[in-house]
Structure 1
């Protein structure tokens, strides 16, 4: 397994091919951490990276592992018992928005067993998918969660999610009616977690998660102005995420 913690400066791309073609590209950075031993930075740097269990799964403040194990049990899967590596955005200056958090689950011998993909949308909801990738790191799962307002909740995801090592290389395709109207990629290179590197990334990408959230909304407005129709958001139960104001109380 990759030594953790690690930083991954990365480029995120979204390419939409139907019903209209549109692409966006965004640079940011993500953390790879052991959920049982998240990094604790020196006091002056802690506002730049905080890992709060309330940002994941049920959001009830229990440990990330407790939330993960509850999710797995609900799907009839035994807790992995070994290390779990989480790729995520940390809270920066009290704010976080995680479009996608990934958990690579291992047994006590370090053998990979499954991957959990936790998706957050801009409506304050989150949903998790249980994946069993093949040896190449690829898995398929039915779409069950409203993410983009321009796609209904149908189709199927094809995800290629190899565990990060020296490189981070993730791909998510949305497949509908035999086509792929949407593809997202995350690509980057591993960096050691040092005080200098944390500060460098924070200066290069200030308010990184707030910028991600704002960029998603900006591109949504551009698509609206192009006349792309909005798909109704289904009324369904989901786990609410905390707002920025709640996070700093």
Structure 2
């Protein structure tokens, strides 16, 4: 149900449930965009402070080596033996708003030229400046698994497996990610949402309902991480090499493989 901008906005509720070594849960509300990478929303200039889709915010090469989000994704898929060609890519993400964006998770649903599902890509950002993608094969129910090999939270080491349920959304958005570690399920994150066509009125409504939404995500993650740290939960050191290498921000954060 794309609106006048060829995109969809989802009012979302994100829930995180940690089960080990200490049970803790929280939820927060916000909104996400579902956009076609070949038809990014033509947001008029007066509204661009509320929504911008810059390649720098959504690519693995933060230096700007890829001129578009699609080209960066296409290069990534080619390195993994997947030929995207002219197929469609839908991206679920937050747009830059009021000068800030942080996407714990961006999801790409890729189809081939004939319109058949090709793959799903789950792109995870951590609060230390790191970015990493998990490539999942097509599945009728959106299910996929991957070894966890990216440092997200200082309260979990880089081990275990992600079990993801990421069906392509329609009127409803329903995503689930489980972190399975030795001994059982350690963490679950879900995102639920309801769609409405994206256009000027919908964007203004979303911004009014969830002001400073992108800032709120970052602050909420840091707040929850600080609570866990103050409660005495042990911290696992960050790797010094590879895709999980640390950046400059030392603030403890909660495990955030979903937005």
Note whether the superposition's TM-score is higher than 0.5: yes
Distance 2:32 2:122 in 1: 15
Q: Corresponding residue for 1:169? A: 174
Counterpart pick for 1:145 among 135, 147, 150 = 150
Which moved further from structure 2: 151-160 or 175-184? 175-184
Counterpart pick for 1:226 among 228, 231, 256 = 231
Deviation at 1:238, TM superposition (A): 3.4
Q: Corresponding residue for 1:247? A: none
Structure 2 stretches lacking a partner, 5+ long = 249-259
Deviation at 1:239, TM superposition (A): 8.8
Distance 2:244 2:88 in 1: 25
Is residue 88 from structure 1 mapped to residue 89 from structure 2 by the alignment? no
Deviation at 1:179, TM superposition (A): 0.8
Deviation at 1:58, TM superposition (A): 1.4
| C-alpha contact (below 8 Å) 1:143/1:154 kept by paired residues | yes
What's the TM-score once normalised by structure 1's chain length? 0.93
1:1-249 to 2 correspondences below 5 Å = 3=2, 4-56=6-58, 57-61=60-64, 62-238=67-243
Distance 2:104 2:41 in 1: 21
What's the TM-score once normalised by structure 2's chain length? 0.89
Deviation track 1:144-166 (CA, whole Å, cap 9, x = no partner) reads 10001100000000000000100
| C-alpha contact (below 8 Å) 1:80/1:106 kept by paired residues | no
Displaced runs of 4 or more, over 6 A:
none
Deviation track 1:137-188 (CA, whole Å, cap 9, x = no partner) reads 1000000100011000000000000001000000000001141110000000
Structure 1 stretches lacking a partner, 5+ long = 244-249
